């Protein structure tokens, strides 16, 4: 695994736990953790259960004893690492968004297609697809329980940036992160909406806003004289993203409409990802802050029986739940990463292409770019090419 920040901890949990609950066709060995700081990465490796650590990802990618490369670095390095790994004959799991630009995503998708012919698998880490409730929502929509999809609402609300004096981290720098709230959390809402509906966005119209334009640089503070000595840097990404979209219509019509909101300035909202899908026969709704529940509305029932009901998604017949706990015992955020390992390892063993693929990641990158172009052109509708 290359990178050892927040996602490094989550992915390590997934690799460590999955073989102990799922009957995998092969058992992954957590061999080497890679980072730029030798002391920091060695400490993380010991804490999370990796056999060794390294500061040279190119050397690790070239090793014969490494079969899988898991990329959890900032987006600026995704393309270089993934392409090198695929060309070296490794399977690749890459955190979302796939890249910082469409051009990088195109190069990665091309490398993945070429590597597939040699038996190499690649997947993007949109982990919320592995939450049992979202997988159940997809099943209900695909089986026709809500009829024709007519409208979708997606939002991802956080508030960790509301303090204007919070430091300028890499997530606030376009050259490192690619985009702000749009790509960081909005990408999850987009992917989950497309996953649940089985439809892709074809056009978008939106606006991006940077609420706080500059922030203190990390490591600055009070000078030797006791006076404030705080250097500041520019925030070069969006803080708030609002956009509408139109989905493809398999029957050739106009397609369902969607609305999306992604912000890290929603005061009081810590990690609220919500998707609502409305159809001709019913509706489903999911909220990450109640991740073991799915709201379901059946419009075919008699009027006296209609109303949203809450499905507690903990039964062994529900997606992913057979190896876990008895019914009624909740899963948490970390379980999605073990479910992701289950899917990826099985895809490697069977040769079945895993989803979301690098092509899926490229499509999402094209959606992000279309939203940015729309914002730059006064919210004019932009095609997702």
Burial environment of residue 189 by CB neighbours within 10 A (0 to 12, 13 to 18, 19 or more)? buried
Cα 37 from Cα 289, distance rounded (Å): 34
- Amino acid 273: pLDDT: 98
Kindly report the backbone phi and psi dihedral angles of residue 50, in degrees, each rounded to the nearest multiple of 5, phi listed first: -85, 145
Burial environment of residue 87 by CB neighbours within 10 A (0 to 12, 13 to 18, 19 or more)? middle
- The dihedral region occupied by 57, where left means phi > 0, alpha psi between -120 and 50, and beta the remainder, is alpha
- Amino acid 251: pLDDT: 83
Alpha carbon of residue 152 to chain centroid: 19
Cα 13 from Cα 29, distance rounded (Å): 13
pLDDT digits (tens, 9 = 90+) for 97-143: 999 999 999 999 999 999 999 999 999 999 999 999 999 999 999 99
CA count, 13 A, side-chain hemisphere, 365: 26
Q: Does the pLDDT at position 226 exceed 70? A: no
Give Cα separations from 377 to 92, 202, 283, 366, 373 (angstroms).
Answer: 36, 18, 34, 16, 6
> DSSP string of 45-94?
HHHHT-SEEES-HHHHHT-TT--EEEE-S-GGGHHHHHHHHHHTT-EEEE
Instruction: Give the residue from 47, 43, 40 showing the smallest Cα distance to 13.
Output: 47
Residue 29 tokens read as 């060995």
Collapse the DSSP code of 263 into the 3-class scheme (helix H, G, I; strand E, B; otherwise coil) and give the result.
strand
Q: How many CB atoms lie within 10 A of CB 253?
A: 9
> DSSP string of 13-41?
HHHHHHHHHS--SS-----EEE-S-HHHH
Q: Structural domains in the chain?
A: 6-125 (3.40.50.720), 131-331 (3.30.360.10)
Cα 268 from Cα 252, distance rounded (Å): 42
pLDDT digits (tens, 9 = 90+) for 144-200: 999 999 999 999 999 999 999 999 999 999 999 999 999 999 999 999 999 999 999
Q: How many CB atoms lie within 10 A of CB 376?
A: 12
Q: Does the pLDDT at position 222 exceed 60? A: no
Q: How much is the average pLDDT of 268-293?
A: 98
Cα 36 from Cα 34, distance rounded (Å): 7
Residue 162 tokens read as 């509301």
The proportion of the chain whose per-residue pLDDT surpasses 70, expressed as a percent, equals: 97
Cα 189 from Cα 202, distance rounded (Å): 16
- Which pLDDT band holds residue 252 (cuts at 50, 70, 90)? confident
- Amino acid 220: pLDDT: 58
Burial 335-345 (b: 16+ CB within 10 A, else e): bbbbbbbbbbb
Residues 6+ apart with CB under 8 A from 14: 334, 336, 337, 338, 339, 340, 341
- Amino acid 224: pLDDT: 42
Mean pLDDT of all residues belonging to the chain:
95
- Amino acid 83: pLDDT: 98
């Amino acid at each position: 695994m290359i990178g050892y920040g927040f996602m490094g901890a989550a992915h390590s949990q997934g690799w460590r736990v999955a073989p102990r609950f799922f009957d995998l066709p092969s058992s992954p060995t957590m061999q080497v953790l890679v980072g730029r700081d030798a002391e920091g990465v060695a400490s993380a490796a010991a804490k999370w259960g990796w056999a060794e650590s390294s500061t040279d990802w190119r050397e690790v990618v070239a090793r014969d004893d490494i079969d899988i490369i898991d990329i959890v670095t900032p987006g600026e390095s995704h393309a270089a690492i993934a392409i090198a790994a695929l060309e070296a004959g490794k399977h690749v799991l890459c955190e979302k968004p796939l890249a910082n630009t469409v051009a990088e995503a195109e190069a990665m998708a091309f490398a993945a297609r070429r590597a597939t012919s040699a038996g190499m698998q690649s997947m993007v880490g949109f982990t919320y697809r592995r939450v049992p409730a979202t997988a159940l929502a997809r099943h209900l929509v695909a089986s026709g329980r809500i009829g024709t999809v007519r409208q979708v609402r997606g939002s991802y609300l956080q508030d960790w940036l509301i303090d204007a004096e919070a430091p300028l981290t890499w997530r606030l720098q376009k050259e490192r992160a690619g985009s702000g709230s749009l790509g960081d959390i909005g990408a999850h809402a987009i992917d989950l909406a497309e996953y649940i509906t089985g439809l892709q966005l074809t056009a978008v119209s939106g606006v991006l806003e940077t609420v706080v334009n500059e922030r203190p640089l990390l490591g600055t503070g009070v000078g030797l004289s006791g006076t404030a000595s705080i250097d500041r840097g520019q925030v070069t990404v969006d803080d708030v993203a609002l956009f509408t979209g139109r989905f493809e219509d398999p029957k050739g019509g106009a397609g369902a409409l969607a609305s999306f909101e992604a912000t890290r300035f929603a005061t009081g909202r810590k990690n609220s990802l919500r998707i609502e899908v409305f159809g001709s026969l019913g509706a489903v709704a999911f909220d990450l802050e109640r991740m073991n529940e799915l709201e379901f509305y059946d419009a075919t029932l008699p009027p006296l029986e209609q109303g949203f009901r809450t499905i507690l998604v903990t039964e062994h017949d529900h997606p992913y739940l057979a190896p876990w706990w008895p019914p009624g015992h909740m899963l948490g955020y970390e379980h999605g990463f073990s479910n992701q390992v289950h899917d990826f390892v099985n895809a490697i063993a069977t040769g079945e292409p895993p989803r979301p693929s690098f092509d899926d990641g490229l499509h999402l990158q094209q959606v992000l770019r279309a939203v940015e172009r729309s914002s730059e052109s006064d919210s004019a509708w932009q095609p997702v090419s």
